[in-house]
């Protein structure tokens, strides 16, 4: 619940928020910086390689890879919004973020996470049409339809991010100590003592309903997909589909379950390492796992990356 026993700090007087420190020990801060740096480089590089491979190989200019390149863009944005600031704080031995910086972090993070979630739903529908209705695939998932879907994802995500951010920072705060390593809305709500607190909680629960609806849609789509796949006489064909779909479901489940549970805990005045673990899982695991699922396990992406890197190597050798 919001903090009622502290003096009210009007949001206009808050110049900065104080983020969670992983440790007071300098060596541990440096270790945190190194670990987060490695994670950030892996996640960003993996998604950027997907973007480069799909853009380079015209054979990959299909709906599936069009959605994949958008997912990679959103994953890069998601980790770039929160990770560099946390690394900077550890390296500089500080824990503050400006009020405007916190607002920007919430706005862009909610935008990228929401668009990521909606796009995963669209990708599940794309796989459903491709496997369950292959004869209608080109008609249903034509270029214009794909563009409209992606534009709808971005527009809905922008609107939701603006609504969520304005609902959060339209509140009055009793404290500026955010018990998380970035400006996470559930933790910000625990600092409020405004009468409008119930409005933002309503926004959160409406979001949970939307997320739950998308989750049901995705799982129903995969039920139909698995039903069709099990009828495929070729064991190799079944294995290829399962090897792609099952990891997608696992990562999506981790993303959805931990995210929903983390936001549900916004109504409880509690803070523990469990909250930190939940946040790190839903905010950091999917951007790192998606390249592994869609690139390392995808032969077409691997071939495109090999051609791209080999061409780059040859051009460097010729220039020398």
pLDDT tier at 48, thresholds 50, 70, 90: very high
Where residue 8 falls (left for φ over 0; alpha for ψ -120 to 50; beta otherwise) is: beta
pLDDT (tens digit per residue) in 106-119: 999 999 999 988 99
* Interval 80-84 mean pLDDT: 93
Strand partners, 17: 97
Q: How far is CA 123 from the centre of its chain?
A: 15
- Structural contact between residues 275 and 265, judged by C-beta atoms closer than 8 angstroms: yes
Please report, for residues 30, 102, 162, 228, 262, the alpha-carbon distance to residue 114 in angstroms, rounded to integers and kept in the order given.
32, 18, 12, 30, 15
* Interval 257-278 mean pLDDT: 70
Sketch out the chain's domains with CATH numbers.
11-319 (1.20.1070.10)
pTM for this prediction: 0.85
What backbone phi and psi angles, to 5 degrees, belong to 167?
-65, -35
Query: d(Cα 153, Cα 112) in Å, to the nearest integer?
Result: 10
Whether the per-residue pLDDT at 230 is higher than 90: the answer is no
- The pLDDT assigned to 155 comes to 95
Map the chain to HEC letters.
CCCCCCCCECHHHCCEEECCCCCCCHHHHHHHHHHHHHHHHHHHHHHHHHHHHHHHCHHHCCHHHHHHHHHHHHHHHHHHHHHHHHHHHHHHCCCEEEHHHHHHHHHHHHHHHHHHHHHHHHHHHHHHHHHHCHHHHHHHCCHHHHHHHHHHHHHHHHHHHHHHHHHHHCCCECCCECCCCCCCHHHHHCCECCCCHHHHHHHHHHHHHHHHHHHHHHHHHHHHHHHHHCCCCCHHHHHHHHHHHHHHHHHHHHHHHHHHHHHHHHHCCCCCHHHHHHHHHHHHHHHHHHHHHHHHCCHHHHHHHHHHHHHHHHHHHHHC
- Residue 268 CB partners (closer than 8 Å, separation 6+): 1
- The pLDDT assigned to 7 comes to 45
Per-residue exposure over 257-282, b if at least 16 CB sit within 10 Å of its own CB, e if not: ebbbebbebbeeeeeeeebbebbebb
Query: d(Cα 9, Cα 192) in Å, to the nearest integer?
Result: 9
Strand partners, 178: none
Query: d(Cα 288, Cα 285) in Å, to the nearest integer?
Result: 5
- The pLDDT assigned to 211 comes to 80
Region of poorest pLDDT, from 154-158, 245-249, 269-273, 303-307: 269-273
pLDDT (tens digit per residue) in 34-46: 999 999 999 999 8
- The pLDDT assigned to 299 comes to 78
Among 247, 228, 248, which Cα is nearest to 238's? 228
Q: Considering only residues 258 and 35, tell me which one the structure prediction assigns the higher pLDDT.
A: 35
């Amino acid at each position: 619940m919001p903090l009622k026993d502290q003096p009210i700090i009007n949001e206009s007087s808050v110049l900065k928020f104080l983020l969670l420190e992983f440790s007071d020990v300098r060596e541990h801060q440096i270790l945190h910086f190194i670990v987060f740096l490695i994670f950030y480089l892996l996640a960003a590089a993996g998604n950027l390689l997907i973007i480069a491979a799909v853009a380079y190989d015209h054979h990959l200019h299909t709906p599936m890879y069009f959605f994949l390149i958008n997912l990679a863009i959103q994953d890069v944005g998601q980790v770039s919004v929160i990770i560099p600031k946390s690394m900077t704080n550890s390296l500089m031995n500080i824990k503050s973020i400006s009020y405007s910086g916190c607002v920007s972090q919430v706005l862009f993070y909610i935008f990228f996470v929401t668009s990521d979630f909606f796009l995963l739903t669209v990708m599940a529908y794309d796989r459903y049409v491709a496997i369950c209705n292959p004869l209608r695939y080109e008609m249903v998932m034509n270029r214009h339809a794909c563009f409209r879907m992606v534009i709808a994802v971005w527009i809905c995500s922008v609107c939701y991010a603006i609504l969520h951010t304005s609902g959060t920072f339209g509140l009055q705060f009793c404290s500026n100590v955010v018990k998380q390593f970035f400006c996470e809305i559930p933790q910000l709500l625990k600092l409020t003592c405004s009468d409008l607190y119930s409005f933002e909680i309503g926004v959160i629960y409406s979001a949970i309903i939307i997320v739950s609806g998308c989750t049901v849609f995705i799982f129903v789509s995969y039920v139909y997909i698995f039903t069709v796949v099990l009828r495929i006489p070729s064991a190799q064909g079944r294995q290829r589909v399962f090897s792609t779909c099952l990891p997608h479901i696992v990562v999506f489940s981790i993303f959805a379950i931990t995210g929903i549970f983390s936001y549900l805990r916004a109504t409880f005045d509690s803070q523990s390492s469990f909250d930190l673990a939940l946040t790190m899982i839903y905010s950091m695991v999917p951007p790192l796992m998606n390249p592994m699922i869609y690139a390392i396990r995808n032969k077409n992406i691997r071939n495109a990356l090999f051609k791209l890197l080999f061409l780059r190597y040859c051009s460097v050798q010729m220039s020398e």
